[in-house]
Amino acid sequence: MITATPVSAEPTPHPEAKAVTNQLGMWTFLATEILFFGGLFVVYTLFRLTYPEIFRQGGQSMDFWLGTVNTAVLLTSSLFMALADRAVRANQRALLTRCLALTALLGLVFLGIKAYEYHGKFAEHLVPGPGFRGPPGSGPRLQIFYFLYFAMTGLHALHMLGGLAAVGWLWRLNAQGRLNSGRTEPVVIVGLYWHFVDCIWVFLYPLFYLAGR
Protein backbone atom coordinates (compact mmCIF):
# COMPACT_ATOMS: atom_id res chain seq x y z
CA MET A 1 0.00 0.00 0.00
CA ILE A 2 2.56 2.52 1.01
CA THR A 3 5.98 2.96 -0.37
CA ALA A 4 8.19 4.86 1.98
CA THR A 5 10.46 6.78 -0.31
CA PRO A 6 13.05 9.01 1.29
CA VAL A 7 12.09 12.43 -0.04
CA SER A 8 13.90 14.45 2.52
CA ALA A 9 14.49 13.93 6.18
CA GLU A 10 13.01 17.28 7.19
CA PRO A 11 10.46 18.32 4.59
CA THR A 12 10.38 22.09 4.48
CA PRO A 13 7.13 23.19 2.88
CA HIS A 14 7.36 25.68 0.10
CA PRO A 15 6.84 29.19 1.57
CA GLU A 16 4.07 29.93 -0.88
CA ALA A 17 2.27 26.73 0.07
CA LYS A 18 2.61 27.73 3.71
CA ALA A 19 1.12 31.11 2.85
CA VAL A 20 -1.94 29.51 1.29
CA THR A 21 -2.30 27.27 4.35
CA ASN A 22 -2.24 30.28 6.65
CA GLN A 23 -4.74 32.21 4.58
CA LEU A 24 -7.02 29.19 4.41
CA GLY A 25 -6.91 29.09 8.19
CA MET A 26 -7.83 32.75 8.43
CA TRP A 27 -10.69 32.41 5.96
CA THR A 28 -12.03 29.44 7.92
CA PHE A 29 -11.95 31.62 11.00
CA LEU A 30 -13.78 34.36 9.11
CA ALA A 31 -16.48 31.83 8.13
CA THR A 32 -16.90 31.24 11.86
CA GLU A 33 -17.17 34.96 12.43
CA ILE A 34 -19.79 35.24 9.69
CA LEU A 35 -21.97 32.78 11.57
CA PHE A 36 -21.28 34.57 14.86
CA PHE A 37 -22.24 38.05 13.69
CA GLY A 38 -24.63 36.71 11.09
CA GLY A 39 -26.73 35.07 13.80
CA LEU A 40 -27.14 38.53 15.30
CA PHE A 41 -28.15 39.94 11.94
CA VAL A 42 -30.78 37.23 11.62
CA VAL A 43 -32.10 38.09 15.09
CA TYR A 44 -32.14 41.76 14.10
CA THR A 45 -34.14 41.00 10.94
CA LEU A 46 -36.61 38.95 12.90
CA PHE A 47 -37.33 41.73 15.38
CA ARG A 48 -37.35 44.44 12.75
CA LEU A 49 -40.02 42.55 10.83
CA THR A 50 -41.95 41.92 14.03
CA TYR A 51 -41.76 45.36 15.64
CA PRO A 52 -40.96 47.87 12.89
CA GLU A 53 -42.05 50.80 15.07
CA ILE A 54 -39.36 50.36 17.71
CA PHE A 55 -36.70 50.59 15.04
CA ARG A 56 -38.19 53.85 13.82
CA GLN A 57 -38.29 55.23 17.35
CA GLY A 58 -34.90 53.90 18.32
CA GLY A 59 -33.25 54.88 15.05
CA GLN A 60 -34.29 58.47 15.59
CA SER A 61 -32.31 58.62 18.82
CA MET A 62 -29.12 57.53 17.07
CA ASP A 63 -26.61 60.24 16.27
CA PHE A 64 -26.54 60.15 12.47
CA TRP A 65 -23.41 62.27 12.10
CA LEU A 66 -21.34 60.33 14.61
CA GLY A 67 -22.30 57.10 12.87
CA THR A 68 -21.45 58.46 9.43
CA VAL A 69 -18.13 59.91 10.54
CA ASN A 70 -17.26 56.66 12.25
CA THR A 71 -18.00 54.73 9.08
CA ALA A 72 -15.68 57.01 7.14
CA VAL A 73 -13.00 56.63 9.81
CA LEU A 74 -13.19 52.86 9.65
CA LEU A 75 -13.14 52.77 5.84
CA THR A 76 -10.04 54.96 5.89
CA SER A 77 -8.36 52.71 8.41
CA SER A 78 -9.05 49.82 6.04
CA LEU A 79 -7.40 51.74 3.24
CA PHE A 80 -4.24 52.13 5.30
CA MET A 81 -4.34 48.45 6.18
CA ALA A 82 -4.50 47.65 2.47
CA LEU A 83 -1.62 50.07 1.86
CA ALA A 84 0.35 48.37 4.61
CA ASP A 85 -0.17 45.09 2.81
CA ARG A 86 1.12 46.64 -0.40
CA ALA A 87 4.05 48.26 1.42
CA VAL A 88 5.29 45.04 2.95
CA ARG A 89 5.11 43.26 -0.37
CA ALA A 90 7.17 46.05 -1.90
CA ASN A 91 9.59 45.78 1.03
CA GLN A 92 9.02 49.44 2.03
CA ARG A 93 9.43 49.14 5.77
CA ALA A 94 9.22 52.83 6.61
CA LEU A 95 5.96 53.13 4.68
CA LEU A 96 4.71 50.02 6.44
CA THR A 97 5.40 51.66 9.80
CA ARG A 98 3.43 54.75 8.83
CA CYS A 99 0.50 52.75 7.46
CA LEU A 100 0.27 50.60 10.56
CA ALA A 101 0.40 53.67 12.77
CA LEU A 102 -2.41 55.35 10.84
CA THR A 103 -4.52 52.20 10.86
CA ALA A 104 -4.21 51.90 14.61
CA LEU A 105 -4.77 55.60 15.14
CA LEU A 106 -8.00 55.56 13.12
CA GLY A 107 -9.10 52.44 14.99
CA LEU A 108 -8.60 54.33 18.24
CA VAL A 109 -10.52 57.33 16.92
CA PHE A 110 -13.37 54.98 16.03
CA LEU A 111 -13.42 53.50 19.52
CA GLY A 112 -13.25 56.98 21.04
CA ILE A 113 -16.32 58.12 19.12
CA LYS A 114 -18.04 54.86 20.05
CA ALA A 115 -17.27 55.41 23.72
CA TYR A 116 -18.64 58.97 23.48
CA GLU A 117 -21.88 57.59 21.99
CA TYR A 118 -22.17 54.91 24.68
CA HIS A 119 -21.67 57.55 27.32
CA GLY A 120 -24.53 59.56 25.84
CA LYS A 121 -26.82 56.54 25.92
CA PHE A 122 -25.96 55.87 29.55
CA ALA A 123 -26.62 59.49 30.45
CA GLU A 124 -30.01 59.40 28.72
CA HIS A 125 -31.01 56.16 30.52
CA LEU A 126 -31.30 54.30 27.25
CA VAL A 127 -29.55 51.17 28.55
CA PRO A 128 -32.01 48.24 28.73
CA GLY A 129 -32.91 47.14 32.21
CA PRO A 130 -34.67 48.49 35.28
CA GLY A 131 -33.22 51.98 34.77
CA PHE A 132 -34.43 52.30 31.20
CA ARG A 133 -36.32 55.53 30.44
CA GLY A 134 -37.50 55.63 26.86
CA PRO A 135 -38.68 58.83 25.20
CA PRO A 136 -42.30 59.76 25.99
CA GLY A 137 -44.81 57.59 24.20
CA SER A 138 -42.48 54.63 23.83
CA GLY A 139 -43.20 51.29 25.43
CA PRO A 140 -40.98 48.75 27.14
CA ARG A 141 -40.39 47.11 23.79
CA LEU A 142 -38.02 49.86 22.77
CA GLN A 143 -35.49 48.12 25.01
CA ILE A 144 -35.20 45.39 22.37
CA PHE A 145 -33.75 47.97 19.98
CA TYR A 146 -31.17 49.15 22.50
CA PHE A 147 -30.40 45.60 23.54
CA LEU A 148 -29.56 44.76 19.94
CA TYR A 149 -27.67 48.04 19.55
CA PHE A 150 -25.45 47.38 22.54
CA ALA A 151 -25.01 43.68 21.77
CA MET A 152 -24.05 44.20 18.14
CA THR A 153 -21.95 47.36 18.36
CA GLY A 154 -20.42 46.10 21.62
CA LEU A 155 -19.30 42.86 20.02
CA HIS A 156 -17.98 44.84 17.10
CA ALA A 157 -16.03 47.09 19.45
CA LEU A 158 -14.54 44.02 21.16
CA HIS A 159 -13.42 42.79 17.76
CA MET A 160 -11.86 46.19 17.12
CA LEU A 161 -9.87 45.85 20.32
CA GLY A 162 -8.66 42.48 19.10
CA GLY A 163 -7.73 44.04 15.78
CA LEU A 164 -5.81 46.82 17.50
CA ALA A 165 -3.86 44.25 19.50
CA ALA A 166 -3.03 42.44 16.26
CA VAL A 167 -1.86 45.66 14.61
CA GLY A 168 0.28 46.31 17.67
CA TRP A 169 1.82 42.89 17.19
CA LEU A 170 2.60 43.74 13.56
CA TRP A 171 4.20 46.99 14.74
CA ARG A 172 6.45 45.04 17.04
CA LEU A 173 7.38 42.51 14.35
CA ASN A 174 8.21 45.38 12.03
CA ALA A 175 10.28 47.16 14.67
CA GLN A 176 12.26 43.96 15.09
CA GLY A 177 12.79 43.89 11.33
CA ARG A 178 10.88 40.66 10.92
CA LEU A 179 8.54 41.84 8.19
CA ASN A 180 9.77 42.10 4.61
CA SER A 181 8.79 41.06 1.15
CA GLY A 182 9.91 37.54 2.04
CA ARG A 183 7.67 37.43 5.11
CA THR A 184 4.41 39.20 4.39
CA GLU A 185 2.09 36.63 5.92
CA PRO A 186 1.43 38.32 9.29
CA VAL A 187 0.34 41.52 7.54
CA VAL A 188 -1.92 39.63 5.14
CA ILE A 189 -3.56 37.65 7.94
CA VAL A 190 -4.14 40.61 10.24
CA GLY A 191 -5.33 42.60 7.24
CA LEU A 192 -8.01 40.02 6.43
CA TYR A 193 -9.28 40.24 9.97
CA TRP A 194 -9.23 44.04 10.03
CA HIS A 195 -11.13 44.33 6.77
CA PHE A 196 -13.67 41.78 7.93
CA VAL A 197 -14.42 43.75 11.10
CA ASP A 198 -14.79 46.78 8.86
CA CYS A 199 -17.37 44.95 6.72
CA ILE A 200 -19.45 44.16 9.82
CA TRP A 201 -19.62 47.86 10.64
CA VAL A 202 -20.58 48.67 7.07
CA PHE A 203 -23.80 46.73 7.74
CA LEU A 204 -24.33 48.01 11.27
CA TYR A 205 -24.32 51.57 9.96
CA PRO A 206 -27.54 51.45 7.89
CA LEU A 207 -29.23 49.03 10.29
CA PHE A 208 -28.92 51.32 13.31
CA TYR A 209 -28.04 54.83 12.22
CA LEU A 210 -30.34 55.02 9.22
CA ALA A 211 -33.20 52.98 10.73
CA GLY A 212 -35.23 55.97 11.86
CA ARG A 213 -34.69 58.16 8.84
Site for another protein in 56-115 (CB under 8 A): 64, 68, 71-72, 75-76, 78-79, 81-83, 85-86
> Does 181 engage in binding with another protein (CB under 8 A)?
no
> Does 17 engage in binding with another protein (CB under 8 A)?
yes
Compute the distance between CA of residue 69 and CA of residue 75 in angstroms, rounded to an integer.
10
- Looking at 6-136, list the stretches that DSSP marks H as alpha helix, in order from N- to C-terminal side: 15-50, 52-60, 64-89, 93-123
The one-character DSSP state at 180 is B
CA distances from 211 to 45, 55, 71, 122, 181 (A): 12, 6, 15, 20, 45
- Burial class from Cβ neighbours inside 10 Å (0-12, 13-18, 19+) for residue 89 reads middle
Number of residues in contact with another protein under rule CB under 8 A: 86
> Does 15 engage in binding with another protein (CB under 8 A)?
no
- Here's the x/- map for another protein, 19-58, by CB under 8 A: it reads as xxx-xxx-xxxxxxxxxx-xxxxxx-xxx-xxxxx-----
> Does 167 engage in binding with another protein (CB under 8 A)?
no
> Does 3 engage in binding with another protein (CB under 8 A)?
yes
- Segment 107 to 166, residues that bind another protein, using CB under 8 A: 127-130, 132, 137, 139-141, 143-144, 147-148, 150-151, 155
